[in-house]
Each structure stands twice: as structure tokens, then as C-alpha cells.
Structure 1
Amino acid sequence: MASPIPQTDPKAGYLDLKADIDAAVARVLNGGWYILGQEVGAFEKEFAAWCGNSHGIGVANGTDALVLALRGLGAGPGDIVATVSHTAVATVAAIELTGATPLLLDIEAETFCMDPAALEAAFAREGSRIKVVIPVHLYGHPADLGAIVALARKHGAKIIEDCSQAHGAAIAGKRVGTFGDVAAFSLYPTKNLGALGDGGVITTDDPALAQRIRELREYGWRDRYISATAGMNSRLDEMQAAILRAKLVHLDRDNGRRQAVAAHYDDALANSGLRLPTVRPGATHVYHQYVVRADDRDGLRQKLKDAGIATNIHYPAPVHLQPAYQGRTPLGPTGMAATEACQGQILSLPMFPQLADADARRVTAAIVQALRG
């Protein structure tokens, strides 16, 4: 019987680079410095340079990255932060952790990213009360930043790019994270660049903003043990930073492998009847997830499970329909038609750099067979 195919496999990522990662871990253990040392500083510089930014700030996780970016921009009670409902709940949780109010907007049906028309309508209704806009580059595809940034600048709002699923995605060759005022990245183990534990990083070209965020991540300290402002404790540790440095040098290769798997899926499933991912002209998709839409999503998922192929749903419900948020979180004036239409259809196929060609072919063969039957 064929081995099961996981939907994602962070252990395979470790085994692929085992010698490099083990050496990085040993280097930290033998070095004797475990919090905010040379490894974190080097990773911050290397990752910022890889993105095309001037400054990087390592933090504990992707949620904290968003919280600290928001606080660095001064967002808080009385402010509105516009984002999408079709996202990981962390995006919205982070807004509320600052005391600001999330305003949830609809997505483009083709890219699953923020619809600029929905943002324009929100500005028409709310005006300057919208202090920050957080476009989410969902699944590895860039949001329409040309339109979104122009709208934000017109209305005096700041932009935080949520790049947690899009390390290396680009528009006309310019990587995401370099278009707005600041960007937040998760480094969760399954991400395109993932730690072997939790982690996050913030990038910006604004030196004053970078300094504020550095202070906020460690109690608001400028001088040790003296808080100049009220901050928090959110530090990327040395061990994870060393592991991330070992993996960063292979990130372009790994993204290329994701794109190769996606190209196979595109070709093999072109006539399947599934709705396949769309790539906007000029965009570079890095396929954190390869998400299809199926009329009988649950039936297809069960048949793939029976064939030993794991899938996932990102996400089972949009934030505005989850119990913690339903009925109390403001929605944009254009409604949620595209967001709600996709929820019963989306399915994430196996996607990780170490997925073998034979296994990718097995996935598509099983899908074609399932849809015929």
C-alpha cells in the first residue's frame, strides 16, 4: 500500500537540511547566549535584505508581529483597522489586542485577497477613522497593492502588509513587504520560511518606526530595565533565529519547488472541472497553499482521504461568522458575497517543497479519478 501523503510536512523540511540545522542548533547551545544575541541580529539583517527592506525585527510569533506593527504606528482604541474576513483569525485578533476596531472587507473571488473596491467603499463611509489597512497576501498570492496603497495614501491611512503566507511573493519583481509602511511575517513551522517552533519578524524601511517596535517588543526599554514606554515581551529566541538563517539561504529554491508542484497541478487538473488558483498578471505566487474550489468539496476531500491523501481547509469559516466575532465585528459596506461564496468550496491540496514528483502525480490522478466517479 502506498504511503500516506500529508498536506504539509515540516519534518521533511528539517530532514532536508538536517546537517545545517543541527550545526546551527549546536552553535547556539555552545555559544551560551540564548535571547536577543548575534543569531537574532544576523537573521534580522539577512531577512530584511532578502525582502528588500532596511530593517528587520524578530519577535515571538506572527500575531505579535501584527500587534507590534500596529502599536508602532500608534493604532489603538478609537481607531479602525480595515482588513479581510477571509484570513487566519490571527489578523483580526491582533487588531483587537491593540484596542482598535477591525473593519472586515470582502475579497476578490479570483485571488482570495482584499478587494480594492470594498476598501474604496469603506473609506467613503468611514473616512479618516480608518487609521491602518492590513492587506493579507493569502495563500502566497500578493494582494492588489497598487490600488490598495493608492487608496490608503489618498485617505491618510497607513499600510501593514500581512505577509505571513507570502515570503518571496512579488509584484513586477518587487517583493511583498516593501510596498507598505511595515510588514509582518509569521515564521510558524509550516510557512514558506518556518522555524522549528514559533517565530515572527517585522520589516520596514522607516528607521524611527523600527526603533519604536524594537523598544515595544521588550517592555519599552531603551536602557535595560527602564521602560521609556509601555511595551510587551515578544522576542525571537537565538535557537529559532539560527535555524531560520540555515533555512533562509534555501528559501528561493524551496519557493521554486512549490511553484513546480503548482505547475503540475495546473496542468494535470486543467480540465478537471475544479476552479484552480488564479495568478494576477505581473504577480509572483509562492504557493504557501494551493487552493482549489470544488462544488462537492467535502465529497472530494473524503475520497482523497480514502486514497491516503491529506487535504486541509483554509479556512472553514470566515472570521465574521466565527462565534467569537459573529454579530459584533463591523463589516464593510459592500458585504461579504465573495468571502461567503468560497467557504464551502475551498480545499488546500498537498503543498510543501519536499513533495516528490511521484506523489504530486498521485494527488492529481486521485482527484481526476474521484471527480469521474
Structure 2
Amino acid sequence: MPEKKIIPPIDLQEQTASIRQEIDEAINRVIDTGNFILGDEVALFESDCAEHIGSKHAIGLNSGTDALVIALRALGVGEGDEVVTSPFTFFATAEAICLVGATPVFADIQESSFNIDVCQVQDLINKRTKAIMPVHLYGRIAGSEDGKPDMSNLKEVASGIPIIEDACQAFGAGSPRAGALGDIGCFSFYPTKNLSAFGDGGLLTTDDESIAIKSRMLRQHGEKSRYNNELLGYNSRLDAIQAAILRVKLKHIDKWNMQRREAAERYDSLLNGCNQVIAPEITCGHIFHQYTIRIPNLDRDKVKEKMYEKGVISMVYYPIPANKLPVFGDRFPDCPVSERLSKEVLSLPIWPEIKPEQQKQVVEALLQSISEIAQ
């Protein structure tokens, strides 16, 4: 019997091979023009994204982190201001708030969705609150208590306070789509994202003309016109080659997101009846950037190690909530749900082309590992 291959957290080789000719043609097109910074390729990608998302403006940037920083700057958030956000996310969310001089205020999460608890947000809003930054974690839209992918409850609670969507894991999620639900949407095109570049890349979306103008200035050293710098900005331009690659991939993103949902449904079926595992909810608009289970009654890290020994690489997103990271020391209060779930979550391998037999191997490794540890 042939040895089973190791299953990585994500494998995009088949996906890349299927569009390789289109990618090569796009890259060669940029090389032939000799225009590698901004230009027509970036402008066309921005237009395509705005249409796909349903926003009036889309601004290509260097990264998702830059998108968050520039969004805050465009709203005028700074020293003395507070931004309510989730602690259960990648550090860049809180980092961006701190980089503009504001203070992150952490609202704990819902156990079922991994997303920000709207009731806690409501309790934390005060006169210093200048923005709310929900995170659409793992590809599920935050801010709707009934699971609808429209952020309706959070918008009601915000009552006019600007909402910046951290949609870095959620391109194509929701209805309307992520990035068109709040005042500003922020996206990452890091190579493991659902819509991914061949390097770093980001995007900011908005319907507000003044925010769009300021964001375009901030991405290019605060310039309104060439060498006419009116703001202290950043070097945060999306490369033309990355934009060209992303334009090719954008045509396929809806299909790829649907394939991820189908993979999630297969996992759900395979895990049915396993009392040691809590599977994620499959809600409307969820695009499963990650398929993240919970293992509440066993040592999650030991399960992860055992799975690795059996040829399956799983991941933990995230082992330490932002409010407990060393950079902050004891500055912030506890978020008990986030802190508990950070010890339980385990993300299983998922990508659009993952095969049913690979998923069966993943679940077999998971259940065997659980059984061995539980003995």
C-alpha cells in the first residue's frame, strides 16, 4: 500500500496550475508595458473589485495591515481616541489602532461565531469611541446575532459611529458583500487568503468620496498631485504585477469560495457524531477561509502534535488573544471567551481543491489522535 502523503494546511498548486497560462500572460503584459507601480493594471483591478464588492471606490494598497492603518487615518482617528475591536484576531488589527495613536478597546467574542459580541460592543461605546472595527474571522461576517451575513445588529448599535470592516479573511463573504457593509472595508491578499497575490497586497473599499481621496493620498506619501505632499503618508502602493495576477484570480473567486463551503460541508458530515469536537456553524455567506473546530475537553496542542505524526498539519488561529499579547503586558482587561477558545481552536486543512479522500484522512487522523489522548 502506498504511503499516505502529508496533508498541508493549504495547497494551491493545483489551483495555480489551472490558471498558469492566464497568470503568465498577465505578468508578461505588465513586463511589456514597463509600468510596475500603480498605472492601468492597478486601476482596472480596483474597478473590478469595486464592482464585485458593490462599493463606489476601491484603493489598491501594499497590505491588509496598511489598509487598516490608512482606514483609521482617513477617518481622522488618532491620539486620545478609542476603537472597539475583537481580541480574537491576528495582531495587525490591534496593531493598526495603536500605530495611529489610538487605543484598542476589546469586546469579547461570541462562542458560536468566533466574532465580536455586539452586546459587549454596545457596553463599551463612549464619547471617546471614534470607530468600531469588527473582524470577519475565518470568512464569517461579524455583527449579526441571527447569523445573517449583513452586519445588521452591529450597525444598529454603532448608531453613526464609523465601522471599519477588517475583512482580510473574507473577500467575497456576506450579502451584501464584505467591504460594502460598513463605512470602510479592508482586505489582505496575502498568499494564503481566499483571493491571494504572489506576495503582499491589500485593498480599501468605501462609498465615501472624501475617504477615498484621502486614502489615495495616504498610500502615496500624502500626495494629492505629483510632488505636492499635503499629508504625512506611506509608501503603500499595490504593484502592477500583483494587480494583474489578482485580476486573473478575481474571475474565479466565487467558484473557489463555493468549493470551500462544499469542503466545509464534507467536514461537517465526517465529524457528525464526534462528541469531543465542536464543528463550526455553516452559515449563509460564510466562505471558510479557515475551517476551525474546537476541542474543549482535551489538550488541543497534543491533538495537533499527534495529527502531525499521522501526516496532517493543522494550525492554531490564534493561540494568544490580542489583549494578552506580550506587547501590551497587563494593560487590558480579560476577555474570558477569547482566552478560553484560544486554547480550544484548531484549523483543519482547507482549500478549494481539497479532495474528499484528503478530508477523510484529516478526520481519521483527528479522531485517532483524540482517541489516543483520551485513553
TM value normalised by structure 1: 0.94
Any conservation in 1 of the 2:106–2:323 contact (CA below 8 Å)? yes
Residue 180 (structure 1) aligned to one of 179, 182, 185: 182
d(CA) in 2 for partners of 1:305 and 1:161?
Answer: 34
The alpha carbon displacement at 1:278 in A equals 1.8
- Letter of the structure 1 residue corresponding to residue 315 of structure 2: N
d(CA) in 2 for partners of 1:223 and 1:304?
Answer: 55
The alpha carbon displacement at 1:13 in A equals 3.5
For 2:328, what is the secondary structure of its paired residue?
A: coil
For 1:175, what is the secondary structure of its paired residue?
A: coil
In structure 1, the gaps of 5 or more residues are none
Corresponding residue number in structure 2 for 1:367: 366
Corresponding residue number in structure 2 for 1:292: 293
Any conservation in 2 of the 1:10–1:189 contact (CA below 8 Å)? no
Residue 152 (structure 1) aligned to one of 153, 158, 172: 158
The alpha carbon displacement at 1:20 in A equals 1.2
What CA deviation, in whole Å up to 9, does each residue of 1:89-115 have, x standing for no partner? 000111111111111110000000000
1:168 maps to 2:172: yes
d(CA) in 2 for partners of 1:222 and 1:14?
Answer: 38
Residue 256 (structure 2) aligned to one of 251, 254, 265: 254
The alpha carbon displacement at 1:284 in A equals 1.2
d(CA) in 2 for partners of 1:346 and 1:210?
Answer: 37
1:265 maps to 2:267: yes
Any conservation in 1 of the 2:122–2:157 contact (CA below 8 Å)? yes
- Letter of the structure 2 residue corresponding to residue 366 of structure 1: A
Corresponding residue number in structure 1 for 2:355: 356
- Letter of the structure 1 residue corresponding to residue 169 of structure 2: Q
RMSD: 1.3
Corresponding residue number in structure 1 for 2:147: none
d(CA) in 2 for partners of 1:119 and 1:16?
Answer: 44
Any conservation in 2 of the 1:43–1:242 contact (CA below 8 Å)? yes
1:12-161 matches, cutoff 5 A: 12-123=14-125, 127-144=126-143, 145-153=151-159, 156-161=160-165
Corresponding residue number in structure 1 for 2:234: 232
1:194-343 matches, cutoff 5 A: 194-273=196-275, 274-280=277-283, 283-294=284-295, 295-296=297-298, 297-328=300-331, 330-331=332-333, 335-343=334-342
The alpha carbon displacement at 1:12 in A equals 4.2
- Letter of the structure 1 residue corresponding to residue 350 of structure 2: M
d(CA) in 1 for partners of 2:343 and 2:365?
Answer: 21
Work out the number of aligned pairs and report it: 360
For 2:84, what is the secondary structure of its paired residue?
A: strand
- Letter of the structure 1 residue corresponding to residue 364 of structure 2: A
Any conservation in 1 of the 2:77–2:100 contact (CA below 8 Å)? yes
In structure 2, the gaps of 5 or more residues are 144-150
The alpha carbon displacement at 1:121 in A equals 1.0
The alpha carbon displacement at 1:372 in A equals 3.5
TM value normalised by structure 2: 0.93
63-72 or 294-303, which deviates more: 294-303
The alpha carbon displacement at 1:356 in A equals 1.8
d(CA) in 1 for partners of 2:319 and 2:16?
Answer: 29
Structure number with the bigger relative contact order (C-alpha 8 A, sep ≥ 6) is 1
* % identical equivalent positions: 40
Segments of 4+ in structure 1 off by > 6 A?
A: none
Corresponding residue number in structure 1 for 2:9: 7
Any conservation in 2 of the 1:141–1:279 contact (CA below 8 Å)? no
The alpha carbon displacement at 1:309 in A equals 0.6
